[in-house]
Amino acid sequence: MRQSTHQALLRQIPAVDQVLLRPLIAAWVERTGRSLVVSEIQALLQEVRDGIRSGDETYDRAVGMDNLELILDQRLRARLRPQLLPVINATGVILHTNLGRAPLSTGAQESLSAVSGHYANLEFDLATGERSYRDKLLEGLLGEILGSEAATVVNNNAAAVFLILNTLASGKEVVVSRGELIEIGGSFRIPDILARSGAVLREVGTTNKTRIQDYEAAIGRDTALFLRVHPSNYRIRGFTERPGLSELLDLAHRHEVPVVEDIGSGLLADLSRFGITEEPIAQKSITAGVDLVCFSGDKLLGGPQAGIIAGSRKWIEPIRKNPLMRTYRVEKLIYGALEGTLAAYRAGRALEEIPVLMMISISPEELQRRSRRFVRRLKPRLPASCRIELFKGHSVVGGGSCPGSELPTTLLALESARYRAHVIEARLRSQSPPVILRLEEDRALLDLRTVFPSQEDLLLSGIAHALE
């Protein structure tokens, strides 16, 4: 009996050519070409055949042409979806490394897009018509903002640190406090980078206390430089000591030893009134007289991934000439995006234009108003099985910076009688665009701080759809 049903079902499976005639499928052929669509049809028909033969009844319904068409449409859509997609970040983590760190300002996007589809004067001096160096493009603008004499841009801050050490300290000693031998994540560890650069690590002090005398005692014939690293992603509290920057500079310069400071996140604006008090500001390092400072472009600076090295020309020039510079250089898109970002700082409009800084500076009251308004709009679109609750919590700066700074925010908890929190999280993640939220103590939480106001409508329908 079952055998004859199999035969009947198998006979109902249409031929590839018939499927190709269906309107949704014909539209895919039009858009993507025939061979991809044909291979997807063949794969599905084979799967259905195998399913029926194996007696799996879930395939019985698939043989109808309408169902086949819908399944294929979904599969082609999934297959052709770009691998890299914009997502809605509702986690409240502003510099979310897994979500690409800093979103670019409108100015940065415009500068990037202006050069992306055209030729550009990347290494061409428009005044003389001669070859120039990409490396000099932003030196002037960085100098205006930072007060630095010279500057160069590389692929990221990890590359900046490596290149500095490799150029200035290969075969010599680099003095670092034991409290600053940090791991940033993604296997970037100061001692390992130092070893790979050819420099020799000279640790001084202890994990919690390093005094100026410890540095002094370490100075010798082989000393290449003092490296001061901002412990970006952790804090030691309590019985601690670290020499002030000016004290360290005094000592180093008396002995003609340069000081290099890795400040990590590239903060260029004073954010202390928003609770960001422990991040070093790049301009302050330059003003204090460090020989080189380096930092990321895509952390608190709020631009594209890049590493910026700024300071005195005497030390920047040999870095430029290092043959390894070639392996870390950045392309015109990055220069475009970085220049567009930095232009907001020069204009004194960083807090108004750069998304990361805008997100940090939104007031808790504004976030509460936005969240209430959002809930008022969302409620009528949710089924009766759902509940939303607002409560106070914290956003996180993230990206391995500001570990102690928690920004007060309003959180939305989504609850459903049908779905557990992790199921809500997964369903939101599979929306288009995907919505990424926070799971905490088995609760699905949204923080509007990191959601662009222009994304709120999409977020609303995403949630409504996911909780259906």
Ligand X SMILES: *Cc1c(COP(=O)(O)O)cnc(C)c1O
Nearer to ligand X (CB atom), residue 160 or residue 421: 160
**CA–CA gap between residue 334 and residue 303 (Å, rounded):** 9
Quick count: other Cβ atoms within 10 Å of Cβ 159?
21
Q: Please pick, from the candidates 107, 179, 264, 311, the single residue that binds ligand X as defined by CB under 6 A.
A: 264
295 CB-side CA count, 13 A = 32
Binding window for ligand X (CB under 6 A); candidates: 3-11, 60-68, 226-234, 369-377: 226-234
Q: Please pick, from the candidates 229, 281, 292, 350, the single residue that binds ligand X as defined by CB under 6 A.
A: 229
Residue 42 near residue 16 (C-beta atoms within 8 A): yes
Nearer to ligand X (CB atom), residue 148 or residue 156: 156
265: contact with ligand X by CB under 6 A: yes
Nearer to ligand X (CB atom), residue 393 or residue 400: 400
230: contact with ligand X by CB under 6 A: yes
| Sole residue written with tokens 């939305």 | 412
**CA–CA gap between residue 257 and residue 245 (Å, rounded):** 14
177: contact with ligand X by CB under 6 A: no
Angle (nearest 5°) at CA 250 between 244 and 253: 130
- Residue 262 burial by Cβ neighbours in a 10 Å radius (0-12, 13-18, 19+): buried
96: contact with ligand X by CB under 6 A: no
Least CB distance from residue 150 to ligand X, whole Å? Answer: 20
Least CB distance from residue 201 to ligand X, whole Å? Answer: 16
Q: Please pick, from the candidates 62, 142, 184, 402, the single residue that binds ligand X as defined by CB under 6 A.
A: 184
188: contact with ligand X by CB under 6 A: yes
The 141-170 contact track toward ligand X, x by CB under 6 A, reads ---------------xxx--x---------
Amino acid occupying residue 94: I
Cis peptide before 433 (omega within 30 of 0): yes
Amino acid occupying residue 393: G
With b for 16 or more beta-carbon neighbours within 10 A and e for fewer, the 398-417 pattern comes to bbbbbeebebebbbbbbbbe
Start-end of H helices in 379-455: 421-429
Least CB distance from residue 179 to ligand X, whole Å? Answer: 13
371: contact with ligand X by CB under 6 A: no
DSSP 385: T
356: contact with ligand X by CB under 6 A: no
CA 447, chain centre distance (Å): 18
Q: Please list every residue from 301 through 330 that binds ligand X, using CB under 6 A.
A: 307
Nearer to ligand X (CB atom), residue 261 or residue 291: 261
336: contact with ligand X by CB under 6 A: no
Least CB distance from residue 33 to ligand X, whole Å? Answer: 40
Q: Please list every residue from 373 through 402 that binds ligand X, using CB under 6 A.
A: 400
Least CB distance from residue 146 to ligand X, whole Å? Answer: 17
Query: What sign does the CA torsion over 268, 269, 274, 275 have?
Result: positive
For 197, the enclosing helix (H) or strand (E) is: none
Residues that bind ligand X (CB under 6 A): 156-158, 161, 184, 188, 229-230, 232, 262, 264-265, 296, 307, 400
